[in-house]
Amino acid sequence: MSPVTGAVGLTAVWAGLPGGSVLDERPVDGVGVLTTAVLDLDADVPTLHAWCTARGTAFWGLGGLTVDELRDTYAVVDATAHHHALLVRIDGVPVALVQAYEPAHDPVGEVYDVQPGDLGAHVLVGARPPRAVAGYTARLLRAMCQVLADRTGATRIVGEPDARNTALLRVVERIGFTLGPEVDLPTKRARLTFYDVTPSI
């Protein structure tokens, strides 16, 4: 499918793809088969709602929404050419949501010097995989960074987790992210994180 009018940046090829479109599928050693697809507003939002309202996901900031309100929220994301919601499965089981976005077209682009090859990403790890995986969160995040790089040509993944989310900051630092400064964004005090990655395909 050709990029739609108004599509921008590294993710232009994803603009206009229907929900459920598979963007990437690959085996990941020690994890399983990792499948990344465009979020399906009808099929996937109930699962996403369960994750957003679960204990331990308060930093995602959507726990107070109903299923319909959450669907409306992601319908806005779906209609945005520079921001894309992706559902991640391991061996067919939904495990995470990734929101990939163009930093130059996002508020984060106003608080740091955006470089060519930068791709922003939010990640919500919602569930465990079908079988036990040692160091699961770190393995999943590392694999997803590689997927994003391979499918967009990005050379650096930029994150902006809540500055209070020390558990996630420890994980991303362990897998090779560089921790940047704390910054004020419209909805939170965030800590910038940067991960250099080379596309492998």
Q: Is residue 91 predicted with pLDDT exceeding 90?
A: yes
Contact criterion met (CB below 8 Å) for 181 and 163: no
Q: Which two tokens stand for residue 34?
A: 């990792």
Given this model, what pLDDT does residue 7 score? 54
Which of 35, 28, 11, 7 is closest to 153 using CA atoms? 11
Q: Is residue 74 predicted with pLDDT exceeding 50?
A: yes
Contacts of 94 (CB under 8 A, 6+ apart): 44, 47, 87, 88, 126, 127
Given this model, what pLDDT does residue 131 score? 87
Give the mean model confidence (pLDDT) for residues 162-168. 93
Contact criterion met (CB below 8 Å) for 95 and 141: no
Which of 63, 56, 123, 119 is closest to 95 using CA atoms? 123
The DSSP code for 162 is B
Condensed to tens digits (0 to 9), the pLDDT of residues 166-195 reads 999 999 999 999 999 999 999 899 999 999
Condensed to tens digits (0 to 9), the pLDDT of residues 32-57 reads 999 999 999 999 999 999 999 988 78
Given this model, what pLDDT does residue 1 score? 32
End-to-end Cα, the chain, rounded Å: 20
Given this model, what pLDDT does residue 22 score? 98
How far, rounded to the nearest angstrom, does the alpha carbon of residue 169 sit from its chain's CA centroid?
Answer: 15
Q: What band does 2 get if pLDDT is binned at 50, 70 and 90? A: very low
Instruction: Give the whole-angstrom CA distance, residue 46 versus residue 68.
Output: 9
Condensed to tens digits (0 to 9), the pLDDT of residues 120-150 reads 999 999 999 988 899 999 999 999 999 999 9
Contact criterion met (CB below 8 Å) for 109 and 119: no
Q: Is residue 113 predicted with pLDDT exceeding 60?
A: yes
pTM for the model: 0.93
Q: What percentage of residues in the chain have a pLDDT greater than 90? A: 83
Q: Is residue 13 predicted with pLDDT exceeding 90?
A: no
Given this model, what pLDDT does residue 6 score? 52
